[in-house]
Amino acid sequence: MSALVQVRQQLQQARIQHEQEQPLTRPRTREEFDAYLDSLPKASAESSIAKAHALFDRSYKRQKIRRTYDSLTVKQRGMCCIAGGLSPDHANQSFDQLNDIQRQKVRKGLELMDSVTKRFEGRVGNVSQLAAPDFL
């Protein structure tokens, strides 16, 4: 019972603190808005340009590939590995644990699976819409 009392007291204190805080007010005029913008910290042009370049850097794309590959299930990785000519044992490795040749084989496997999927989609429609009786 004392735990319930403590939780109620904490909630009441939080409510009191919230009520004492001043509500956020929006700028009412253009001058107030400009003053607000002037008060924000400014990033240098060099850092902004560097951040923009990083978005188009190869390492950025490689990070996206790594995150995507590592987020696949072991079964999905295995399909990529087998299609690319690797053994299914490589599916247990993360993207960083694969060497350059193995990564290229995974890329080839993805290309092969993509071509198979596109062929089916071109002839019979969306693959996810196919039902088990369609194959009987």
Walking along the chain (136 residues) 10 residues at a time, the average pLDDT comes out as 78 73 76 87 85 77 91 94 94 94 96 93 88 87
Cβ atoms of 90 and 102 within 8 Å: the answer is yes
Q: What is the pLDDT of residue 49?
A: 87
The CA distance from 75 to 64, in Å, is 20
Q: What is the pLDDT of residue 89?
A: 92
Q: What is the pLDDT of residue 6?
A: 83
CA 125 to chain CA mean position, Å: 28
